[in-house]
Amino acid sequence: MADLQGRKVFKVFNQDFIVDERYNVTKELGQGAYGIVCAATNNHTGEGVAIKKVTNVFSKKILAKRALREIKLLQHFRGHRNITCLYDMDIPRPDNFNETYLYEGRWTN
């Protein structure tokens, strides 16, 4: 496994969830064909976020297109009070690009 400096590993639905060390996973929220979602808290700000782990995103062209579409939609609707805001994206292991994490939360501006 690659160097995970600056990250923590949590078990979410019996799968490794590799997140930035600023976050603590607090609750499992859901899982489906597209990925797994958990709730987490930012240790520095106390703010709650949802972290979505999208797996096998680059294994098929259609999966990569879906991921890109979701990112573009979240970008387009940024600031809408009823839609989560995409804060950050992360690919924690440079040796494995099939795990992408999307950090989402409420727009606070």
52 is annotated as contributing to ligand binding: no
SS3 assignment, position 29: strand
CA distance linking residue 83 with residue 77, whole number of Å: 7
CA distance linking residue 51 with residue 38, whole number of Å: 5
What are the residues facing 38 on neighbouring strands? 28, 51
- Under 8 Å between Cβ of 81 and 107: yes
With tokens 């969830």, the residue in question is 17
CA distance linking residue 50 with residue 39, whole number of Å: 5
Q: Report the binding-site residues for ATP.
A: 53
Q: Report the binding-site residues.
A: 53
